[in-house]
Amino acid sequence: MTPPQNHAPKAHRAEPRIGFYVCHCGSNIADTVDCAEIARYAASLPGVILARDYKYMCSDPGQELIQQDIREYQLDRIVVASCSPLLHEHTFRAALARAGLNPFYLQMVNIREHVSWVHKNREAATAKARDLARAAIQRVRHHQALQPIRVPIRAEALVLGGGIAGIHAALLLAEAGKRVILVERQPSIGGHMAQLDKTFPTLDCAACILTPKMSAVRAHPNITLWTYSEVIKVEGYVGNFTVTVRRKPRYINEALCVGCKQCVDACVFKDGKFPDEFNAGLSHRKPIYLPFPQATPQVVVIDPDRCLNLKTGKCKKTCVEACDRNAIVFDQQPEVHEVKVGTIIVATGYDLFDPTRLPQYGYGRYPNVFTTLEAERLVNSSGPTAGKVRLRDGRVPRSVGIILCVGSRDHRTHPWCSRTCCMHSMKLALLIREHAGAEVTIFHMDIRSAGKGYEEFYDRCLREGIQFIRGRVAEVTDWAMTAKEEGHLVVRVEDTLAGFVRRIPLDMIVLAVGMEPQRDARELRRILNISCSNEGWFLERHPKLGPVITFTDGIFLAGCCQGPKDIPDTVAQAGAAAAEALALMDRGYIEQEPNTAYIDPDHCCGCKSCLPLCPYSAIQLDETQGRAFINEALCKGCGACVAACPSGSIQQHLFEDEQVFAEIDGVLSYA
Amino acid sequence: MPDAVWEPRIVAFFCNWCTYTAADLAGVSRLQYAPNVRVIRLMCSGRVDPQFILEALAKGADGVLIGGCHFGDCHYVEGNYKTFRRMRMLNRLLLALGIEPERVRLEWIAASEGDKLRHVVNEMVDRIRALGPLNLPERFQSWNRELSHQTPPCEGVLG
Amino acid sequence: MPMPKPKLAIYWCASCGGCEEAVVDLAEEIVELLQSVDLVFWPCATDLKRADLEHLPDQAIFVSLINGAIRTTEQEEMAHLLRQKSRFLIAYGACAHLGGIPGLANQFSREEILRYYFETGPSTVNPEKAQPQPSYTCGHHTLTLPDLHYKVRALDQVVSVDYYIPGCPPTPTLTRNALKALLAENPPPPGSVLAPDVALCDQCPRKATKPLQLSFTRFQRPHLAPIDPQQCLLAQGFLCLGPATRAGCEALCPRGNMPCSGCFGPTSRVRDPGAKILSSLCANLAPKTAEEIDAVLDTIPDPIGTFYRYSLPRSLLRGKVNTSPTNHAS
């Protein structure tokens, strides 16, 4: 695994033969930076054998140009001034390798993201590009031949989150023969999708398409399903993560419970008394309950905050008597498991916006203001009202208004579009009308129906008489100004198509609440060491070229934890994440940057100053020699020890002191 | 040959994972900022050897900007803490050596904070512009004018 | 016919005289040395004058040892003269090597120093506020004094130097070995510091007592706390610069129960010794908040004197950079 070359003593360096290439990137760079001038300037610098500017360096002919020049002019160092090295370094390294040159003899100059795209003044941009080019040319002469480090990848995957994204990804991986551990923090998998009635635009039943997948997860021999569990620690790195999972006690022996619910019937609470999470609080459950009929696993759970026995120790424990399988275990303790996996797929989903943050819409104040999720449960035949749309007092609503963009597209709350609410609301409009015969009005800023069959669905709603009023609703009030408004909720809105403010009396209001990142997304981000956007959505490596890859190798994103999306997009992304993980695991190894630190044993005095600085314990002391040495397999290449070695005896491949000093000198020496 | 009109020269050391990526994001988002910063990429702000900062100042930088991940976000667990501690001492040292602390700035800029990067760079350029040139190479030269003989080159590695 | 003996010159510039003592410290061996060389110039010990030196042909001296920093016009002139007359010029001792203790004056302007020394210093009585003048005419006679430079310099910042013998002062062993090496067939590569290129812990008897994981919560000063004679000084919280300082002294100070203060200067791989030891010590501080970090740093009351005690003129910034203008000679 450790290539001997990386530790070979520095050979005597002949004067390097540097090739310099500056990319126009079409007009992306050339519009702002005088590329011909950069090439001309580079050609004048010591060691530069040739300098060219070219329209697209990353194109096949661009790469071929480098390869030809390497062969023809015996170039042994290459500098490419183009886009960010994070984008195309591997492209150009591969070109060097094809021409028989060690790929690490490359240095890139970022004159697109860091110059042409952020500056308008052509003269200043060209001067900056020139400085950066000079720095790279001075740096590259200190480059050394290196070999990438190969890290083996374990063939097990962890999927974090058991919504539709996690379920789909887990099934794909399991089908491909990989062992999968699916961790879900709720007592059942299914996520938000399990709470939905029908799905747009086809109006097929969510449960009908989701339940078989949930059962497949339960049944699949390659999937270990841990519900009611949370990841509390992730250590290690791509190919070899050690994940610590905490399994909360559900006070039920999962292996024994068959979900017969006799314990639920027998509970000392005769009726449900506590808000039922699955029904969005519209119904009540007992302290012992099955989360929902299709819950997977089909295992009940005891709520320790509600159960009399767990809270007070004083209860007749009728549930225990009722269970003929003796599955109830009141002294169950949390379990902590450590598992080793090669890849991790994060599919932790989203939270819904809390509409009490917008008091003008009256949620929580007026009983007949609902959220879309509540409405979803009302129209569901297994919901709290068995599919009958009812107001809180049991009346049937005659008129229903749905308000869009509640907590979306609003700089006071969330600036983003939640992407599903338009379609979701139109679907609900049709369902409410079907279930209650009510008139439904949708208040919108505009209808966003981009998606296969979505615009057609909007047309159908228009045809079927759903009312659309364009205007952001100012207020929902029960203050009647006319007799007609008496006893109704009144929506005050500027109808921007009609051009005046309207007051519309309605029986029921549904707020289309948007999506927001999970409340604890930032904590999870830290556990996983991945990045988050400002808002809290997990950050993909590149929005287009790496939409499911994170900045941490071996961790992939699926579903709404990365940003709002609907079910088709979520499933597609989960497939993509599974494919990425699979590609890694099937290959069996990953090649990593050889940017590890190393210690010259002739220079080290054994002062141990570096030892406490390494978070990976990669630096060890050879007691017999009294010298420190670095275990390359453990070193992650941060360079903290290099900067700290008081005698300058630690160096870092790809970031040697002399390379950085050459770069500093290069950016500062006057042209 | 110095610039005809003085423009602040700022050398920036950005960590690969957060601030360098934020600078890429600023580019992708076409956020415009002052062109006075020259970025050098390192894997972690913890790799920023105080020697790099002093060398940059000695070679003519008017300011040095170090960008790393926010606390808790370091790709290498606590590299940014190491930088933070070093910088607190280095600032004392620079102050004692007559260099305004504003010339050496440490900022935590996450990968998503392209706009913060723009803001920090612009603000730093403004401040350095207000402070005026540091221009150590020329100062060193002027110090040497008191020598009656032409001095030999005295740059480079000790010993 | 016996070979002519190689000529040796020894000269002091801005130094305390300790380096002269160091030559005398060769003890009995000095006799042996003086038998093998022809001492042509050593103002401190012999009555040879500048004119004697000037009369020598160029490069006639085999080796000149210059100690002390360059602080005055006279020292600068002498450095040039010795350079001209010598085949090998050696910066002898910390002041010639790196600027040394006199180099700490680079924290202040020349005016500040003169004013303190001749006017405001607590032990000064000088009501006329007289200050030394470079020349003074009294009747027909003009008396001159060397002028004080605005900056203190290491020797190689004034003339080119062939070798460095580090230390405050260099040890007899080091001096003896260096002279032997120069007189041998294959002299060391030019520009070498004639001491091991590894840090001092390598030679320190306390090395093994340093724990594997050491972080700092405060620093102790040697005159304010008892020092355990066996344990690693850093582990006791004393600011020992051994990890950042070139070996060669056999850890004299730690053996004498004092922390290393860095007189041998850095290894060849370090450009700025102060920055490097700062980097190492501060990265290893225990606290994480600004206030707690500052509290630890407050236990280092004089960072420049601590980290650059012998090396300020030869550090990357060379001294305080915004002292008054120095272009009088331009």
Chosen for mutation from B14, B39, B115 (greatest number of chain A CBs closer than 10 Å) is B39
Q: Indicate yes or no: CB of A539 within 8 angstroms of CB of B11.
A: no
Question: Which residues of chain A from 133 to 172 reach within 8 Å of chain B, CB to CB?
Answer: 135
Classify residue A490: in a domain, yes or no.
Answer: yes
What pLDDT was estimated at residue C36? 85
Alpha carbon of C294: minimum distance to chain B alpha carbons (Å): 7
The chain C residue lying nearest A602, using CA atoms, is C198
A30 and A144 share a domain?
Answer: yes
B99: nearest CA in chain C? Answer: C321
Residues of A in contact with C271 (CB under 8 A): 661
A367 and A291 belong to one structural domain: no
Q: Could you count the other beta carbons within 10 Å of the beta carbon of residue C290?
A: 11
Q: Is B70 on the interface with C (CB under 8 A)?
A: no
Mean pLDDT of B126-133: 96
Together in a domain, A365 and A498? yes
Domain end residue (candidates: A516, A536, A551):
A516
Distances, alpha carbon C328 to alpha carbons B136, C77, C148, C154, C158, in Å: 18, 18, 12, 21, 18
Residues A300 and A439 in one domain: no
H helices of C194-233, where?
none
Domain that holds residue A501: 351-516
Distance from CA of C197 to the nearest CA of B (A): 10
A345 within domain boundaries = no
- The full DSSP string for A557-585 is E-GGGGS---HHHHHHHHHHHHHHHHHHH
Chains that touch B (3 or more CB pairs under 8 A): A, C
Chain C partners within 8 Å of A648 (Cβ): 266-267, 269-270, 276
A660 touches chain C (CB under 8 A): no
Q: Which chains touch A (3 or more CB pairs under 8 A)?
A: B, C
B57, B98, B152 member nearest C160 (Cβ) = B152
pLDDT of B10 higher than 80: yes
Q: Please, is C68 exposed, middle or buried when counting C-beta atoms within 10 Å of its C-beta (0-12, 13-18, 19+)?
A: buried
Q: Is A126 on the interface with B (CB under 8 A)?
A: no
Closest chain B residue to C326 measured between Cα atoms?
B143
The answer to whether C157 contacts B149, with C-beta atoms less than 8 Å apart, is: no
Q: Are residues A314 and A375 in the same domain?
A: no
A453 and A357 belong to one structural domain: yes
Q: Cβ distance A378 to A370 under 8 Å? A: yes
What parts of chain A have a pLDDT lower than 70? 1-13, 670-671
Q: Do A652 and B113 touch (CB under 8 A)?
A: no
Say whether residue B142 is in contact with chain C using an 8 A CB cutoff: yes
Query: Are A366 and A510 within one domain?
Result: yes
The answer to whether ipTM exceeds 0.90 is yes
**Boundary residue ending a domain (A493, A516, A539):** A516
**Start-end of H helices in A467-587:** 521-528, 567-587
Residue A114 has its nearest CB partner, among B39, B59, B78, at: B39
Report residue C251 CA to chain centroid gap: 17
B28/A113 touch (CB, cutoff 8 Å), yes or no: yes
Cβ of C205 under 8 Å from any chain A Cβ? no
Count other C-beta atoms under 10 Å from residue C302's C-beta.
12
Q: What does each C-alpha distance from A142 to A13, A92, B93 come to in angstroms?
A: 9, 18, 31
Indicate the residue type of B30: R
Residue among C158, C266, C303 minimizing CB distance to B96: C303
pLDDT attached to residue C30: 81
Domain layout of chain C by residue ranges: 7-101+152-183, 200-299
Q: Both A293 and A368 in a single domain?
A: no
Question: pLDDT 10s per residue in chain C (330 long)?
Answer: 567 899 999 999 999 999 999 988 887 888 888 888 899 999 988 898 999 999 999 999 999 999 999 999 999 999 999 999 999 999 999 999 999 999 999 999 999 999 999 999 999 999 999 988 889 898 999 999 999 999 999 999 999 999 999 999 999 999 999 988 988 888 899 999 999 999 999 999 999 999 999 999 999 999 999 999 999 999 999 999 999 999 999 999 999 999 999 999 999 999 999 999 999 999 999 999 999 999 999 999 999 999 999 999 999 999 999 854 444 333
What DSSP assignment string belongs to A173-217?
A: HHHTT-EEEEE-SSSSS-GGGGG-SEETTTTEEHHHHHHHHHHHH
Per the structure, the count of domains in chain A is 4
Domains (range + CATH), chain B: 10-146 (3.40.50)
Pick the residue of B89, B99, B108 with the most C CBs within 10 A to test the interface with C by mutation: B89
Interface contact flag, C200 A609, Cβ < 8 Å: no
Q: What is the pLDDT of residue C27?
A: 78
A365 and A490 share a domain? yes
Determine the distance in angstroms separating the CA of C213 from the nearest CA of chain A, rounded to an integer.
5
Residue in B with minimal Cα distance to C189: B159
Please give the DSSP secondary-structure letter assigned to residue A328: B
- B3 chain-A contacts, CB cut-off 8 A: 670
Partners of residue A643 in chain C, C-beta under 8 Å: 279, 283
Whether C284 contacts chain A with CB within 8 A:
yes
φ, ψ of residue A343 to 5 degrees: the values are -140, 160
CB distance from C298 to chain A under 8 Å?
A: no
A233 touches chain C (CB under 8 A): no
For residue A592, the model assigns a pLDDT of 86
**Same domain for A316 and A356:** no
**pLDDT given for residue B153 in this prediction:** 43
Nearest-CB residue to A647 (from C207, C208, C267): C267
Domain-embedded: residue A233: no
Per-residue confidence (pLDDT) for residue C29, from 0 to 100: 82
- Into which CATH architecture does domain C7-101+152-183 fall? 3-Layer(aba) Sandwich (3.40)
Are A346 and A453 in contact by the 8 Å Cβ rule? The answer is no
Helix, strand or coil, per DSSP, at residue A556: strand
Is A608 an 8 Å CB contact of chain C? yes
Q: Which of A33, A114, A592 to mutate to test the interface with B (most CBs of B within 10 A)?
A: A114
Q: Do A318 and A355 belong together in one domain?
A: no
Determine the average pLDDT of the residues in B7-24: 96
Asked whether residue A385 falls in the same domain as residue A506, the answer is yes
B24 and A84: CB-CB below 8 Å?
yes
Structure-block tokens of residue A86 = 């994070």
